[in-house]
Structure 1
Amino acid sequence: MKARLSLDSLNAMDLSAFVATLGETFEHAPWVAEAAWNGRPFESADALHAAMMEVVRRAPQATQIAFLCGHPELAGREAQTGSMTNDSKHEQASAGLGEMTGEELARMAHLNGLYRLRHGIPFIIAALHHTKAQIFDEIQRRIDRDTTDEFDEAMTQISHISSLRVRALLSAN
């Protein structure tokens, strides 16, 4: 578990320390923290998170798509090889995705493939808010949705995930 810090100490950090501290809050995207650094001082964890989300939302669409594609598939290759961030490992494990049967892994791989083929991005969900059964239901439900709607939903889910990560990092402010 990461050490919690105060908002004051975060606001006082130089760019490299700020990026080192917050760089993985948005999965494999330290550029988000780097761009948000100029918005210091942040008045609250919510203000920090909002600034970081604004960086993502203002990025060109190609950058946003690459950003979304940098997220791991649920119980996918990254989980099998251990290349996910510690936050993602914890979040997926909390939903029971670390303890799947061979049949469940095959089903998830199939659904992940269908989703990516349809929408061009990995299925993204705030796993901490769901059980394994709910995640299976959600991916199945969302496969046939409109891709524009799914892009928006992926960004909403990223907002939920990153908000939880920011709050976990900071002391109550």
Structure 2
Amino acid sequence: MTEATLAPDLNLNAINALDLDDFIAEFGSIFEHSPWVAEGAWAARPFASIDVLHGAMIGVVRSAPRATQIAFLCGHPELAGKEAEAGTMTTESVGEQASAGLNALSKGEIGELRELNARYLDRHGFPFIVAVRRYSKREIFEQLGERIERDSDTELNEALSQIGTITRLRVQAKVSA
């Protein structure tokens, strides 16, 4: 790995100089368990800005076939779900869920969230995804209840939009302007 990849905050010049393997090493975890997103975005270099970098990455996801998008969504953890209990979520997801208080739910809240998550998954075929850093715990519960009732095409688009918000924050945290 090059010296540039060891910096905690990468700048655009360093990013644009990364070879494919180093680029995947740096950005492969931005999209939950999906290094193929970084791999697909690498060819869009040079990136003129953080927005262009993120846009290339989200473009890879948006242009993927629907079945790939659904499989991608299914790779995301449920809110306060089995991955949280087992300690198998990514570091990013742990911090994001904790920021909304989802790591400190009451027994009643855990039960309600599990029931809502199960209904959502049964209806849409992928887990509920929300940019938790943007909402309070109560707002997250309200959104989940409301979004269960949407049609699955609308909800697929919303889930991808939420991932866009989540990953934009992740890229921003990683890249210095």
Category of TM-score, reference length = shorter chain: over 0.9
1:7 to 3, 12, 26: 12
TM-score by length of 2: 0.94
In 2, the alpha carbon distance for the partners of 1:27 and 1:65 equals 13
For residues 94-109 of structure 1, what are the structure 2 equivalents within 5 Å? 94-109=99-114
Letter in 2 for 1:111: L
1:25 corresponds to: 30
Structure 1 position 74 matched with structure 2 position 87? no
1:124 to 129, 137, 142: 129
Q: Which runs of 5+ in 2 are unaligned?
A: 1-6
Report how far residue 154 of structure 1 moved: 0.3
Please provide the CA RMSD for this pair.
Answer: 1.0
Structure 1 position 158 matched with structure 2 position 158? no
Report how far residue 11 of structure 1 moved: 1.0
In 2, the alpha carbon distance for the partners of 1:130 and 1:82 equals 23
Letter in 1 for 2:13: D
1:56 corresponds to: 61
Query: Quick one: percent identity of the two aligned structures?
Result: 53
TM-score by length of 1: 0.97
In 1, the alpha carbon distance for the partners of 2:29 and 2:158 equals 21
In 1, the alpha carbon distance for the partners of 2:9 and 2:141 equals 33
How many pairs does the alignment contain? 171
CA offset digits 1:82-118 (Å, max 9, x no partner): 1111111111000000111111111111100000001
In 1, the alpha carbon distance for the partners of 2:152 and 2:64 equals 19
In 1, the alpha carbon distance for the partners of 2:40 and 2:157 equals 22
Q: Which runs of 5+ in 1 are unaligned?
A: none
